[in-house]
A and B are shown apart, each in its own frame.
Chain A
Amino acid sequence: MTATLTSRPRRGPSHWWKTALGTALTAAMLFPVYWMLNVSFTRDQAMRKSPPDLFPVRGTLDGYRRVLDEQLPYLATSLVIGLATVVLTVALAAPAGYALAKLRPRGGGILSFVLLAAQMIPGIIMAMGFYAIYLSLGMLQSVPGLIIADSTLAVPFAVLIFTAFMSGLPRELIQAATMDGAGALRTFWSVVLPMSRNAVVTVSLFTFLWSWSDFLFAGTLVSGGAHEPITLGIYHYIGNNNQEWNAIMATAVVASVPATVILVLAQRYVAAGVTAGAVKD
């Protein structure tokens, strides 16, 4: 009892300055985010004021009204593209991860290496290649085309995550399923996949976030089409009206919602994804 009492104070009052410093550093780091919020509430007349208002005094919701009026189709497109990319990525990567982790395929090492190398290819190269292919197939400005392109951002990462996670599943479980007469497909679907829930969540979160944030593929493959994602919505705003920054920043705030939700609700998956492979718990 006394031992715990004497060791407690180390966390206590003597360390308050660390909390203060940490808070100050975090505030400095997040200043641009605050500034985005602040500008999104600023009135047009106050936008060019010098020095700018540090707080949205007598703020306005005009920016957000513009978002509701003009950006909803873009947001919907992004949502559809994001969800479809998640489905495609998980469908491709989960079986591959299972095979690489548990079935020891001949040539699996080479495939893992190719996946790792694939992650290193600059997006601009992929964009140009896709552009050339889609142009000859007449698939430019099509949403399915963009979904396929966006999935290339996530598939190699997803396979690596699934492989790392599924390697940690107990072999006995899979053997037991086989003993009970389950085929490979059934074992995967009814045993392995339900147990890999955490990996599925991590992969889905990151895939959604990347496809939601994609600007390069959207700009090259669907620009000017009937359905454009929110990143292009913002880009057109910047290009068209350099004045109404409250509308631009309001759109930016709305476009940041998925990232915020994910950080609040699924923080441990995020950290796990960054340091991929540490997903096992």
Chain B
Amino acid sequence: MSMMAVAEETEMEPVVEKKSPGKALWLLAPGVIWMSLFLVLPMLMMVYVSFWTQTTFTIEPTLTLKSWITFFTSDTYLGALWTTVRIWLIVLVATVLVGYPAALFVGLFVKNKALQTVLLVLCVIPFWTSFLIRVLAWRPMLGKEGAINMILMNLGITDAPIEVLLFSELSVIIGMTQIYCVFMVGPIAFMLGRIDTSIIEAAQDLGAGFWRIFRTIILPLSMPGVVVGAIFVSVMVLGEFATSAALSGRKVNLLGNIIVTQVGSLKWAFAAVAGVVLTILMGAVVAALLRVVDLRKEL
């Protein structure tokens, strides 16, 4: 992560003479206290409550493994876990496939700095619309009477509307890919922009074709960007519930959706179990991604 690089940079910075070591503490205290009380404490509480006893409408602080056993013996919950993993993997691959060529063009092929900036800004502008509105915008696109079906039928490509486009797993994947692929394009374009073009020219002079150059130079050098993008996309997709709520017609239940419905019916202990499972899954994914590329070395 680029953040790591920042952390290291700050650590490496030459030590400005220490006047009052206590001063930094006072500046830091508000932020650290805020994060401890409102981030760390709630997360710990979630772990703790996952071992509480669930009664019909309330929870009691009697420790038990019952909610955990329910979770891992229920088809619904295990199904949600599997759906979450599946959708995450598909969306991750889709964002790389969709985003990489665009990043390649913006980061490496566009030599004009102004045009490069314009293209990157164009990618970011949709973020100025509400996230929920962007999700909802897929409904008139994908529906039975939606724009895509209309275009396909007018062009004579299909005779009948494709119904599977909306309220299916496919619509969730399309929606998530569109919303999150920019987080892939940005880091990749950034890494590609840093490639020394004289390396590519040297390879060209030595007679290497585009694919060879791509495989041996461009792709390896852009990998840190892919990993950073993958971390962004993974963390966001794994914590999702709104896109599946809006576009799947309740057919796709992610762990996030499970948490929302459980909280809605006051099943706090079950929601907490799903939350802890999601946290562990997310931690494992991020740790695995950081294994693939040593970001500290690469950035």
- Asked whether A and B interact, the reply is no
Q: Could you list which residues of chain A lie within 8 angstroms of chain B, going by C-beta atoms?
A: none
Q: Could you list which residues of chain B lie within 8 angstroms of chain A, going by C-beta atoms?
A: none
